[in-house]
Structure 1
Amino acid sequence: MDLLTYESWLTEHGLCRNTVDQRVAFVGRRLKAWGTLDLPPSFVVEWLLGYRGWTRRTYLMHLRSVYAWMVETGQIEVSPVSKMRPPPTPAPRPRPLTADALNEAMSAAQGHLRTWLLLGYLLGLRCHEIAKVRGEHVSETTFYVLGKGGREAELPTHPALWALAQEYPRTGWWFPSVQARRDYISESQIGNKVRAHFRELGIESGSVHRLRHTYCTTLARNGVQPRVIQELMRHSSLDTTMRYMDVLSEERAAAVRTLSPGWTTTPADQPAA
């Protein structure tokens, strides 16, 4: 299978660079594990059923894409996942890291890995946004981000990130690719290395996106107004931002204790009517 031809096919169909990279990387991993994609539906479906939620849904979309290309180019006659329905969309829930987990992960990280963690926690950047950072994007006051759908934004630069920027080129990619066909590192490389780092520390489901959840939740706990957080998260809807904010049981209890009724709560001491 020619992955470069598949990559060109995806690009010609108008998919963004981020999605193209994800799908090509996924197919490469499946080819390495399976040897071929020309497999019976029972095998592919059984493999997919080993995953749940967003993971199964994402993998199914990747497989539908590559099998559509294979059918179109005459490599197979029928897609083995053509009749498989996507699983229900899981209800989103916030997944911030605990303070202890965050401190442990930061303390154990070095080099580019530590920079990726800081970009996730201090700016709330996504994997593909981290991959595309250039020296020209960073000043002492603003940090330019090329986000989802090509949307541009300027965020306030945290002092710790400005100090870190002195260790990186003032022009060009911060994380250049070692592959000739790419200019900058792929988001899958960043995501895989970050997840491996968390696994080594015994932190379950660690990822760059959990740092984004931590960024949002920490801002909320520090008293930042929701509309400000929405702007920093670069969400078009405040409802989306709220899904990133976790609430602890002790925070709910503390909220109730802020209520101060202006009347007595001991009716037994009052004279009967």
Structure 2
Amino acid sequence: MLAETLRQEWLRWMGSERRAAALTLETYGRDVAGFLGFLTRHLGGEPDIGALGRLTAADFRAWLADEAAQNHGNATRAKKLSALRTFLRYAEREKGIANAAIGLVATPRARKPLPRALTVEEARAVASEIGEVSDQAALQARDTALFTLLYGCGLRISEALGLRRADAPLPGSDAPLRVTGKGGKTRIVPVLAIARDMMARWIALHWQDEPEAPLFLGARGKRLDAAIAQKALRDFRRLNGLPEHATPHALRHSFATHLLGQGADLRAIQELLGHASLSTTQRYTAVDAAQLMETWRRAHPRA
């Protein structure tokens, strides 16, 4: 029995017994047909079902390598491998054709998208002009203090909103900010003078005597909700023509990318961000290189 005949039988079974959607049948069928086409070239002839049982891990990896050579990314190859595994399980259950080698093949991992930073000018505009979204002086001061802190210290939005009144970095002190990040891990972050000044303006308009009270408050006097801060930036970016990836977390990416661009040590950036692994921080080197190439393409007369 040819493997192609088995593929057609499998698709009929998927449609009738599993009630698979038409699009699923089309996608799975195409992916496995591509694999069988590769085997025809790889083995020098159209494979039968016996050949499926004799395939080695090296054969499967050669197929994945061939897919990569066709510029199919990890996510696409992982999807095709999943379809093939489903097909081979059917071959084992219905025809007794078992192949343990497929279990030795690792699923390609989809690459994490690179952090998307803002330009220096865009990040400065957010930090200094975000208050324009509101017409209330207290909210203007709060949002300016918050976003200046996010960009100036590289904080996650949850870290900034978790600060207490006692944590407020104020003028007249050069004490660093103590931040509690993921997993309850504490780190020390220096604070820019401009961030201290913006913080003082916010506190002057919304004084809190209770040291344990939230530093950033919403309109109802409770801890500021992250969704409100995100909406403020969403409104600001649309009013000012900033890119859609201008989010509170993009300011953290911008903090790291801009430090790296100015020659900061990668290990120091790791400590400032609170990353447990240096490999996480190393993603910013790719961002910086990508921005460098984009600058070159825009500026070089022969690019």
TM-score w.r.t. structure 2 length?
0.49
Q: Do 1:122 and 1:215's aligned partners in 2 also have CA atoms closer than 8 Å?
A: yes
CA-to-aligned-CA distance 1:226-247 (integer Å, 9 cap, x gap): 1111000100111111223422
Q: Report how many residues are paired.
A: 167
Do residues 124 (structure 1) and 165 (structure 2) align? no
Q: Give how far 1:101 is off.
A: 1.9
Which residue pairs with 2:275 in the alignment?
235
**Partner residue, 2:215:** 174
Q: Partner letter of residue 188 of structure 1?
A: A
| AA aligned opposite 2:112 | A
CA offset digits 1:119-162 (Å, max 9, x no partner): 11101111111212222113431112122233222212222222
Structure 2: 5+ residue stretches without partners: 1-20, 22-108, 132-139, 296-303
- AA paired with 1:198? R
Structure 1 spans left out of the alignment, 5+ residues: 1-41, 43-87, 255-273
Which residue number corresponds to residue 195 of structure 1? 234
Cα contact 1:105–1:201 (8 A) shared by 2: no
Shift of 1:90: 5.6
RMSD of aligned alpha carbons:
3.0
Query: Who is 1:93 aligned against?
Result: 114
Separation of aligned partners in 2, 1:114 and 1:164: 7
User: What is the rounded CA distance, in whole Å, between the counterparts of 1:242 and 1:209 in structure 2?
Assistant: 17
- The change in CA–CA distance for 1:160 and 1:176 in structure 2 (over 3 A counts) is same
Residues 235 and 201 of structure 1: CA distance in aligned 2, closer, same or farther (over 3 Å): same
Residues 176, 185 of structure 1: 8 Å contact kept: yes
Contact 1:138-1:144 within 8 A present in 2 as well:
no
CA distance in 2 between partners of 1:199 and 1:249 (Å): 25
Letter in structure 2 aligned against 1:109: I
Deviation by residue 1:26-74 (Cα, 9 ceiling, x = unmatched): xxxxxxxxxxxxxxxx9xxxxxxxxxxxxxxxxxxxxxxxxxxxxxxxx
Alpha-carbon distance in 2 for matches of 1:249, 1:234: 24
Letter in 2 for 1:214: S
Aligned-partner SS, 1:174: coil
2: CA distance between counterparts of 1:250 and 1:210? 15
Per-residue deviation, 1:252: 6.3
> In the TM superposition, what is the alpha-carbon distance from 1:188 to its structure 2 partner?
1.8
* SS of residue matched to 2:227: helix
Quick one: distance in 2 between partners of 1:187 and 1:253? 32
**Alpha-carbon offset, residue 174 of structure 1:** 2.3
Give identity over the alignment, percent.
Answer: 25
Contact 2:115–2:283 under 8 Å retained in 1: yes
Partner of 1:142: 176
